[in-house]
Amino acid sequence: MKIYALAAAAVCLSGCATVTRGTNDTWTVNTTPAGAAVKTSNSYACDSTPCTFKMPRKSEFDVTITKPGYKVWTGKVTHHAGAMLDLVPNPLAVTLEKEEVHAAN
C-alpha cells in the first residue's frame, strides 16, 4: 500500500512542475565580446548583449547574433521534454569570431 502512495505522490509532483514553475521560462544570451544584437525567429530581439527574454517553455526557434566587425552567428534553441520543460541551451554563451580584414592593394 505504501508503494502505491509513493507512486501516486511522484506522479503528482512531476505533473505539478509546470503549474509551480509556470509556462514561461527566462532565456539568457551572453556573448564575448558583449554588445551584440540578438534576433530570434519567434520575434524576440535585443540590441545589446547580455540580454534575457521571458518566453514559453515549449519554444523552439532560430537565433541570429550580429556585431559589427564580427562574423554572424546562427543557432537553434529547443526545449528539453520531460517532467519540466526547459529551453536548451540556457544560458546561450557565444564567443564571436572577428571578421577577416583584407588590406587593399
Largest CA distance in the chain: 84
Domain 23-95 bears CATH identifier 2.60.40: yes
Q: What is the pLDDT of residues 53-86, one digit of tens each?
A: 999 988 899 999 999 999 999 999 998 877 678 8
Has residue 3 got a pLDDT over 90?
no
Q: Which of 91, 60, 65 is nearest to 76 (CA)?
A: 60
The proportion of the chain whose per-residue pLDDT surpasses 70, expressed as a percent, equals 76
Q: Which residues of 36-59 are buried (b: 16+ CB within 10 A; e: fewer)?
A: bbbbbeeebeeeebebebebebeb
pLDDT over 90 (residue 11) = no
- Of 90, 98, 95, which Cα lies nearest the Cα of 33? 95
Residue 101's pLDDT band (boundaries 50, 70, 90)? confident
